[in-house]
Structure 1
Amino acid sequence: MTWTDPLVHTPKRYSRDFRERDSALGALDSQLKTLGATPVHKITTERTAPPADIAALLQTDQALVRRRLVLVNGSPYRMGESWFPLDIVKDSPLEEASPTLVGGVKSALAALGYPQTTAKERITASRTPTPAEFQALDISPERSVAEIMHIGYTADGRVVEVTVTVAPAQTLVAEFEFDLD
């Protein structure tokens, strides 16, 4: 992996305007383009049973997974898996193994009638990468990775997306703004 400045991970990046500006393919794509990078997305899709923790969140054992490896300047930058209940994405553009979803998966889900109104994220700031992760990200096994689990909910509380993103830890800065009493 070549050196790339860290991106600030903030909830504001998920606004529709930000995700879709300049035909970006989602929040990460928009952020990288803002920095002058030309990200390349390698996408695969598969209908499969999700891991138990994700199946419990999606409340189904039939899911679609979109696996993504994002390259910046020709080097691996981030990887992720987005899981969706198969009953809502079957035969939709989300099943296409191509990075053509302007606004990313959130905009695609909204177009299918499942707009996300709330999200919860769990960020693990530093952990040891799995062999598959250090190989895909082209880092040494001793390097730390950060993991973001993003859970997207519709207005009625249904989980329609669980995305797990992994990146070399030095590429992520989490930033939160909230009101205090």
Structure 2
Amino acid sequence: MSTKNAIVRDATHRYLKERRESGESRGAFETEINRLGGTPRIQTQVRRGPAPAEVAAILGISETEETVIRARHMYNGDQLVQLADSYLPLDVAEAAGIENPDPGRGGIISRMAESGFAQTEIIEEVTQYPATQVEADAFGVEVESQLLQITHIGHTADGRAVEVTVHKPGPGWVLRFSTPLS
């Protein structure tokens, strides 16, 4: 498959500290777009509120418990290329100081590591879903078009889920995975 004009999301290396913090990058997305020669831009809205039921279950909290929600519109230049909503337990978000829209070098994963919530395992589940009207308008596709959703779950060494991010990339992405065999 040609990746000439695609955004390549390389799960093999994207969350490594040296990759996330490359230059003055604010996280994996910014690093990837910079490596492709693009111009990353992120609009972030931070608020407190309950997580969707499936996210609350992963975080091990009740559906009514507040989380810190980082809702992002992610651009390459002027083109919206991804929507991403991160949900973090309040104690983690407060300890890491990540209610600021600018998470600093390396993004929220670096802030969590600095505050004792280092992610040692990441699980990402990729599914397809039909685009809603909002997503169709955002990405320039037809309603009900099949899009990808990547649910990212970050666990600490003791197995606690400290971050769930629901990534909704627009069309034209390539997802790359590598699994060591020995």
Same fold (TM over 0.5): yes
Whether the aligned pair in 2 keeps the contact of 1:154 and 1:160 (CA below 8 Å) is yes
Q: 2: CA distance between counterparts of 1:45 and 1:91?
A: 16
Question: What letter is aligned with 2:136?
Answer: F
Flag the structure with higher helix content.
1
Q: Which of 89, 106, 112 pairs up with 2:93? A: 89
Q: 2:132 aligns with which of 130, 135, 155?
A: 130
- Equivalent position amino acid for 1:135 in 2: D
Worse overlay, 71-80 or 85-94? 85-94
TM-score, structure 1 normalization:
0.88
Over 3 Å counting, the alpha-carbon distance change for 1:74 and 1:109 in structure 2 is same
1 CA distance for matches of 2:46 and 2:141?
24
Aligned length, in residue pairs: 176
1:77, 1:168 within 8 Å by CA — same for their partners in 2?
yes
In the alignment, is the contact (CA less than 8 A) between 1:13 and 1:27 conserved in 2?
A: yes
Aligned-pair distance for 1:33?
0.3
Residues 129 and 145 in structure 1, CA contact (< 8 A), matched pair in contact too: yes
1:55 aligns with 2:59: no
How far 1:164 moved relative to its partner? 0.6
Change beyond 3 A, Cα 1:91–1:18? closer
The answer to whether 1:44 aligns with 2:45 is yes
Equivalent in 116, 120, 143 of residue 117 of structure 1? 120
Structure 1: how far apart are the matches of 2:56 and 2:68? 11
Structure 1 runs not aligned, ≥5 long? none
User: For residues 137-176 of structure 1, what are the structure 2 equivalents within 5 Å?
Assistant: 137-176=139-178
The DSSP-based 3-state class of the residue aligned with 2:30 is helix
2:106 corresponds to: 103
Structure 2, unpaired ranges of 5+: none
Please tell me the residue identity of whatever aligns with 2:41.
V
Structure 1 position 9, deviation (Å)? 2.8
- CA distance in structure 2 between the aligned counterparts of 1:161 and 1:100, rounded to whole angstroms: 14
TM-score, normalised via structure 2 length: 0.88
Q: Is the 8 A contact 2:51 2:87 kept in 1?
A: yes
How well do the aligned residues superpose, as a CA RMSD in angstroms? 2.0
Percent identity over the alignment is: 28
CA separation of 1:129 and 1:38: change in aligned 2, threshold 3 A: same
